[in-house]
Amino acid sequence: MATLVEVRNVSRVYTRGRQKIEVLHSINLEIAQGDFLALMGPSGSGKTTLLNLIGGLDTPTTGTIAVAGQRIDNLGQSALSRWRASHVGFVFQFYNLMPTLSAQRNVELPLLLTKLSAAQRRQNAAVALRLVNLGDRAGHKPGELSGGQQQRVAIARAIVSDPTLLVCDEPTGDLDRQSAEEVLGLLQVLNREHGKTIIVVTHDPKAADFARQTLRLDKGTLVGAGQA
């Protein structure tokens, strides 16, 4: 299977006053196209930092990152923003939905940056909502939906532009077990049936069981892997 993400000798250092804090140390990682990867580790291990680097929300201090053959570590902020909009779908622990908009309109939001017509945006959003089994909730606002349903709307929003990569930061951290398993099962379907490459940061071993592969970070270093 072709390599989609290549991380080479990546370190990330933050400066706090005169103190330098190295959050990631010389990370080397390849993620195959179509993989479903879980990143695990204790709080402060660097999981979210690595996810943000791969998703183009941050840039490394040293090292290189390529996605689908394109170097993203040396892009300027505006170019990186355009790249993210075209290639990455984001799912966060807290759903970040607009409370005054319907599920349909929330899912349409990323498409406002495209040249699609209003009719095409509506159609694409409707397809994405059907994919997450919420076609019958398109007119509902977030406050009228359960937590699990809100997260599924957030996933529909993340996939509506058909991204190269889906990155999820603790997507089930605010859900009860049943809702969490429904959301993870949906991610598994998107991976296995629709070929989406997915990276999930999680503290939950049961969540990691849904992935094809698990990598562990400890104090900014990759320390182990498991294959599903």
Highest mean pLDDT among 82-91, 173-182, 218-227: 82-91
Q: Given pLDDT bands bounded at 50, 70 and 90, which one contains residue 33?
A: very high
- Residue-level pLDDT at 100: 94
- Residue-level pLDDT at 28: 94
Instruction: Decide: 210 and 36 in contact? Cβ < 8 Å.
Output: yes
pLDDT at 37 over 60: yes
Residue pLDDT, tens place only, 47-89: 999 999 999 999 999 999 999 999 999 998 889 988 988 899 9
Residue pLDDT, tens place only, 151-163: 889 999 999 988 8
- Residue-level pLDDT at 208: 87
What is d(CA 65, CA 29) in angstroms, rounded to the nearest whole number?
A: 9
Residue spans per domain, the chain: 3-95+147-227
- Residue-level pLDDT at 85: 84
Residue pLDDT, tens place only, 119-131: 988 899 999 999 8
pLDDT at 139 over 70: yes
CB under 8 Å, gap of 24 or more: what pairs does 137-144 form? 137/103, 138/102, 138/103, 138/104, 139/102, 139/103, 139/104, 140/102, 140/103, 141/99, 141/100, 141/101, 141/102, 141/103, 142/95, 142/97, 142/98, 142/99, 142/103, 142/106, 143/99
**Lowest-pLDDT range, 6-10, 111-115, 207-211, 214-218?**
111-115
- Residue-level pLDDT at 173: 81
- Residue-level pLDDT at 227: 42
CATH (residue range 3-95+147-227): 3.40.50.300
Q: What percent of the chain has pLDDT over 90?
A: 49
Identify which of 187, 130, 205 has the alpha carbon closest to the alpha carbon of residue 160: 130
User: The whole model's pTM is what?
Assistant: 0.88
**Lowest-pLDDT range, 34-38, 42-46, 119-123, 127-131?**
42-46
Who wins on pLDDT, 216 or 1? 216
Identify which of 119, 114, 42 has the alpha carbon closest to the alpha carbon of residue 85: 114
What value does the mean pLDDT of the chain take?
89
